[in-house]
Amino acid sequence: MTPEEIFKLIEPELQAVEHELARQIESDVHLISQVGRYIRSGGKRVRPALLLLSAKFCDYQGEDAIALGAVVEMIHSATLVHDDVIDEAEIRRGRASVNAVWGNQLPVLMGDWLYASSMKLTISRRNFKILDILVDATKQMIEGELLQLGLNGNIGITEAQHLEISRRKTAHLFSACARIGGVLGDVAAAQEKALADFGFNIGMAFQLIDDLLDFTSSEKVLGKPVISDLKEGKLTLPLIYLMRLGIAKHAQMVETVVRENGFNSVHQDELIDLLREYKTLDQARSKAYEFVEASKQNLRIFKNTPLKQALLSIPNFIVERDR
């Protein structure tokens, strides 16, 4: 099933999520509405789509999925806004980042506002199990950012440390999206866990492919500068695997890029050629496919239906994407 076919299954619900997002970002504080509209435009809406599809898969037909789809997108947007301030990023989704337009103070406050608004909207649904799930996911995301910050610039970061950051920063929110679909559908505990694990594994694959695209895509396609992670001091799996080979010259190159915060003394094509030569890009992709296969196993507990096939198509879409 293609991404277009998957999104077609939930097209009315996704449109309703867009209307809810538009409603939520309106405020009598003009600046909030202005920045909120800027943030809301763009984005793939993968997380709301996963929540909506999971809910439909579990035979849920109420309105709470719409509100909660908006919630997870608001949480995700808050994280992006804060990330761009931390990373001093200038481009997001193919245009100037919020901090590049308004400076650093406003995005920090806007991110806080989005977090607070998302929790308020969640509380309004009066489902405290879902509130617990989303609060925990948000806490995990912030902890992931702090872990990453503590390891920033450390070329000795291990695969296990990077995967732990990915779990917290990305996978837990994906897990929450799929699990919430099960909670709304009031499925059995084993099925709820299966959905949570499914979401977690595709979240891990999503993050690892994101890391890979930083090396293999282009700024035009990706919507932000490529090889930006290393310039910001973040080593992801392709470089972690390269460092693990223990070749001093490679470590010196990476250290130079981190120290200079850019490719001044080292040319980026030289580094990418090394990743290809030693097949560490392939290694990282293989790791992503491990999570894809695990995610498909998670759904074995469910009977085969067209909606199950749609869910099973999501992991393939995630690893085959170019942005």
Domains of the chain: 3-320 (1.10.600.10)
Q: What is the pLDDT of residue 272?
A: 94
Per-residue model confidence (pLDDT) at position 87? 83
Q: Decide: 172 and 141 in contact? Cβ < 8 Å.
A: yes
Q: Hey, which bits of the chain come out as E strands?
A: 91-92, 95-96
DSSP structure class, residue 303: P
pTM of the model: 0.94
CB-CB contact of 120 with 156 (8 Å): no
Please tell me the distance from the alpha carbon of residue 34 to that of residue 25, in angstroms, as a whole number: 9
For 154, residues 6+ apart whose C-beta sits below 8 A from its C-beta are 235
SS3 percent helix, strand, coil of the chain, rounded to 5, is 75, 0, 25
Q: In the prediction, which pLDDT does 224 show?
A: 72
The reported pLDDT for the residue numbered 92 is 76
Report how far residue 315's alpha carbon sits from residue 295's, in angstroms, rounded to the nearest whole number.
Answer: 7
pLDDT at 44: 80
The answer to whether the CB of 258 falls within 8 A of the CB of 229 is no
C-alpha to C-alpha distance for 118 and 276, rounded to whole angstroms: 42
- Residue 135: predicted pLDDT: 97
Low-confidence stretches of the chain (pLDDT beneath 50)? none
297 close to 251: Cβ distance less than 8 angstroms: no
Per-residue confidence (pLDDT) for residue 40, from 0 to 100 = 84
Query: Which token pair is 97?
Result: 């980042």
What are the backbone dihedrals phi and psi of residue 22, each rounded to the nearest 5 degrees, phi first?
A: -60, -40
CA dihedral 299, 302, 306, 312 (to 10 degrees): 0
